[in-house]
Structure 1
Amino acid sequence: MPTKAALAHIPGPPALPLIGHTLKIARDSYGTQQDYIARYGSVYKTNMLGVWRVNLCGADAMEMVLMDKSRIFSSQGGWDALQRIYPGGLLLQDFDHHRANRRIMQAAFRAAAIRDYRVRMTGAMKTLLDTWPDGEAFCFYTAIKSLTLRLGGAVFMGLPLDGDLANKVNRAIQDEIRAAIAVIRRPVPFTPMWRGVRGRRFLRETFRTLIPERRAQGGDDFFSQMCLATDENGQGWSEDEILDQFNLLIMAAHDTTATALSVMIAALGAHPAWQDRLAQEVANLGDGPLDDDALGKMVQTNLVFREALRLVPPVPFIPRLAVKDFHWKGFDIPAGTSITLNPGVTMLSAEHFSNPTEFDPERFAPGRNEDQSHKFAWSPFGGGAHKCIGMHFSTMQVKLFVATLLRDHRVQLVGKAPEWQRMPIPKPKGGLPVILTKT
């Protein structure tokens, strides 16, 4: 890892001893970065938790790093903080090793499999939403986190919604997520990391016992599909590989969807005209099944989803580790340097989007297409070899939720639209209190 002296030629703000810029960035990550870009340009260094990082800002930097034609940038090295809880997952693999495992993973995301997940999810979604309070305030963010986690048990694992095993699995997943963002990185007893390591052990032991059955009998849930998944040459995964890949997958699907839906509900509450438009779109689908044809007609919902991901992307920063020296924007950057990309700030740039802080879903409509100003102007799912493999699944899940909710409910914010905590995982400050009313 390069020392501060090795990066002396990279501009950046003065850093406090030990903590560097950690607290400042944690308090206001977007505002701080926008200030640093104005002062130092699109290449600058910061110190986070004792590690000097070079920030490469803008859509051009996103394209250069994520397309990575010269195999310079390691995702595994960039996401090193996840290694203890999620080792072996697709996000923490690089180059040929990553490509081989992604080909196997694709089998669990083929169109026929996603249709099976949709069927399984539709009934479960309605059952869970029926448990939400009607006509009284509740915390939407807490509720949607619980809903997506319980849906994960049904769709990802093939478990009953409220079974004892499903509840234990959900607690273990929550412990893992808290550990992944914990400041203390060692499993000191009773710390989040300690609980996360215990949760990981429980999940591995639990799902290892299910692998022989799922391989023998199959199933229409993610875990069964991953047990059976092979690439075009018939190559599949060992038991340990299945467990590693599945463990990361259920975390990623849970938290990102909860964030996206929270942003959408906050926006629909703050912009009732858009809520009316989406409700009318859902009404136009009739009372038939929410199948592929119906979801394909939810064009307005898709615009709102894309705008929500632009305004508050679930992954606002993307880390990488340079494994080779490289040159960018007049700067020589040595191998071993930690790199940070900033898609969240890029998607709020006036360079690509008109009135970028305003909620305006029609910016994605034909005739405007502001997201097409650059290949990476809109990039909430990343890009290149590591582009989110679950992109189409998450879009399907969001549309199912909106259609199920707005068929017979409207949502009202309690108070004004929330501010957003951007790091480490975006969430609404105050939890997003709402009231649902039946129509």
Structure 2
Amino acid sequence: MPATAAKSLSLNDIPHPPLTPVVGHTLDLLRDPIGLHMGAAATYGPVYKVKVLGQWRVSLGSADALEFILGDTQKLFSSYEGWDMLHRLFPGGLMLRDFDDHRAHRRIMQAAFRKPVMDAYRARLETATATLLTGWKTDNQFKFFPAIKDMTLRMGAAVFMGLDLDDPRADMLSSAFRAEVAAATSVIRKPVPFTKMARGMAARATLTQNFAMMIPERRAAPGDDFFSQMVLAADEDGNSWNADDLVDHFNFLMMAAHDTTASALTKVAWALATYPDWQDRIITEVDALPAGPIDDTGLASMQATDLVLKEALRLLPPVPLIPRRAVRDFEWQGHIIPAGTWVSATPGTVMMSPEYWTEPEQFDPDRFGPDRQEDRTHKYAWAPFGGGAHKCIGLHFATMQVKIFLAALLKTHRIERSDQTPVNWIRVPIPQPKGGLPVVLRKRAQ
């Protein structure tokens, strides 16, 4: 709610965990953001602050707070200002726009997710997945995460850019995207030579140049790939993007789609290899799919896959903290937060809270099933894709890609862990397993 003028506009009364000299909580956040925030919430309650990169950030840790911040019915919170660490690398991306400007750009982008276009993406995904899986060897240990990162990038080159799977530009894109993502969380925020930020900015320049060269090609001869659809995209009033907007949106979208999908597939692979009874359930529904291309009915029938994916995203959300910056003073639970304050919504802690979930530390996909529906205890109890106006525009595409991959892989193979030692997860910038998640594919008995 808006702040009342009678109260003091200060963060001094908001508690915080002990500070490390110079770096504050920055290293704690990079090492274990969920642990930092779960500990702070347990000690200080749902309103506390942490100091990251020299700035205090107020965290509001409840499902109600998620609804307040992400729903933002009063237009109190700037996503652009919140994601200040991405300004150099991903300017103009959809997530870095606010209010009416964001709404206008999202309406145009929505045209690239219409059903006929999604059907074309699905066909491209199936073909690319089947082809790329032939390169995965049976009965040999390999690290799943780097393998799926390479695969999703090559699938992205086919589906998003219309490139052939063996196009050498895929390797260049992979290197550039990795450099951009690494730079996003670099402690050094200026492109000082030989730093992550310098490498990230050089990678952005390379990507920008390549995307700009593609625009006239796609205008002249559009295909059914995503980039062509973005070039053609217009809202119901005929508004479209200029070349700079196209490059900015596509650069951000490729980064978001590639890294988050690779991470999601890795989490699902970990779950299936660690809990083989769930792998059996998904194999059963894969075997029940009709022969031929998967249609909407087939995707909808993969309900066990939905449960496992939802649980994997609950335990290891792609973005456990969603930053915003207050554009006006506001009040929350008796605290007056002044304009200009960085504010964090914390879906990662909400999705691990016993207030909303039974034994939240346990892997239990049935919690999402019709008999329990724990995700419906609150509108924002389960929010791995954010919410409100900025809810992930590609969530249905991502779910489709996961299902297509599992249908192709599990039709003929099982996935096993090389050993059953617990997996440690790196949380920032995107969840990934330390050691890459060594696995083995086994041919299924037919």
TM-score in terms of structure 2 length = 0.95
Matches of 1:196 and 1:13, distance apart in 2: 32
Which residue in 1 is equivalent to 2:5?
A: none
* Count of residue pairs brought into register by the alignment: 435
SS of 2:439's partner is strand
Which residue in 2 is equivalent to 1:372?
A: 376
Describe how 1:403-422 pairs up with structure 2 within 5 A.
Answer: 403-416=407-420, 417-422=422-427
Matches of 2:410 and 2:389, distance apart in 1: 36
Amino acid aligned to 2:252:
L
Shift of 1:288: 2.1
Matches of 2:409 and 2:153, distance apart in 1: 17
Which residue in 2 is equivalent to 1:385?
A: 389
Matches of 1:29 and 1:244, distance apart in 2: 28
Amino acid aligned to 2:372:
R
Describe how 1:53-92 pairs up with structure 2 within 5 A.
Answer: 53-92=57-96
Which residue in 1 is equivalent to 2:129?
A: 125
Matches of 1:208 and 1:72, distance apart in 2: 35
SS of 1:54's partner is strand
Amino acid aligned to 1:190:
F
TM-score in terms of structure 1 length = 0.97
Matches of 2:214 and 2:273, distance apart in 1: 42
Describe how 1:235-246 pairs up with structure 2 within 5 A.
Answer: 235-246=239-250
Which residue in 2 is equivalent to 1:347?
A: 351
Q: Is the 2:182–2:429 contact (alpha carbons within 8 Å) kept by the matching residues of 1?
A: no
Shift of 1:23: 2.2
Shift of 1:412: 0.5
Q: Is the 1:18–1:49 contact (alpha carbons within 8 Å) kept by the matching residues of 2?
A: no
Which residue in 2 is equivalent to 1:23?
A: 27
Which residue in 1 is equivalent to 2:148?
A: 144
Shift of 1:169: 2.5
Shift of 1:14: 3.0
Shift of 1:422: 1.9
Greater shift, 307-316 or 414-423, is seen at: 414-423
Shift of 1:419: 2.2
Which residue in 2 is equivalent to 1:47?
A: 51
Q: Is the 2:33–2:320 contact (alpha carbons within 8 Å) kept by the matching residues of 1?
A: no
> Which of 421, 428, 437 does residue 433 from structure 2 map onto?
428
Which residue in 1 is equivalent to 2:15?
A: 11
Which runs of 5 or more structure 1 residues have no equivalent in the other structure? none
Shift of 1:181: 2.1
Which residue in 2 is equivalent to 1:256?
A: 260
Change (3 A) 1:169 1:87: same
Amino acid aligned to 2:203:
G
Once the two structures are superposed, what CA deviation does each residue of 1:37-86 show, in whole Å capped at 9, x if it has no partner?
Answer: 12111000111121111011010000000111111100000101001010
Which runs of 5 or more structure 2 residues have no equivalent in the other structure? 1-8
Amino acid aligned to 1:83:
H
What is the RMSD of the two structures over their aligned residues, measured on CA atoms? Answer: 1.3
> Which of 157, 160, 181 does residue 153 from structure 1 map onto?
157
Amino acid aligned to 2:61:
C
SS of 2:435's partner is coil
> Which of 131, 139, 164 does residue 135 from structure 1 map onto?
139
Amino acid aligned to 1:355:
E
SS of 1:264's partner is helix
Matches of 1:230 and 1:29, distance apart in 2: 39
Greater shift, 355-364 or 180-189, is seen at: 180-189
Shift of 1:340: 1.1
Shift of 1:286: 3.8
Shift of 1:394: 0.5
Once the two structures are superposed, what CA deviation does each residue of 1:78-126 show, in whole Å capped at 9, x if it has no partner?
Answer: 1010010100000000000000000000000111111111101111111
Greater shift, 154-163 or 174-183, is seen at: 174-183
SS of 2:415's partner is strand
Matched, 1:213 2:217: yes
Which residue in 2 is equivalent to 1:438?
A: 443
Matched, 1:301 2:325: no
Q: Is the 1:153–1:170 contact (alpha carbons within 8 Å) kept by the matching residues of 2?
A: no
Structure 1 runs (4+) greater than 4 angstroms displaced:
none
Greater shift, 90-99 or 28-37, is seen at: 28-37
Shift of 1:192: 2.0
Matches of 1:181 and 1:112, distance apart in 2: 37
SS of 1:257's partner is helix
Q: Is the 2:34–2:320 contact (alpha carbons within 8 Å) kept by the matching residues of 1?
A: no
SS of 1:209's partner is helix
Shift of 1:13: 2.3
Q: Is the 1:86–1:244 contact (alpha carbons within 8 Å) kept by the matching residues of 2?
A: yes
SS of 1:304's partner is helix
Matches of 1:21 and 1:432, distance apart in 2: 29
Shift of 1:175: 1.8
Which residue in 2 is equivalent to 1:168?
A: 172
Which residue in 2 is equivalent to 1:114?
A: 118
Change (3 A) 1:28 1:164: closer
Matched, 1:402 2:414: no
Matches of 1:131 and 1:169, distance apart in 2: 20
Matches of 2:357 and 2:235, distance apart in 1: 40
Shift of 1:287: 2.8
Matches of 2:77 and 2:391, distance apart in 1: 14
Matches of 1:172 and 1:26, distance apart in 2: 22
Once the two structures are superposed, what CA deviation does each residue of 1:261-315 show, in whole Å capped at 9, x if it has no partner?
Answer: 1111111111111101101110111432222222121111111111111111111
Amino acid aligned to 1:93:
R
> Which of 269, 275, 291 does residue 273 from structure 2 map onto?
269
Change (3 A) 1:251 1:47: same
Amino acid aligned to 2:429:
P
SS of 1:183's partner is coil
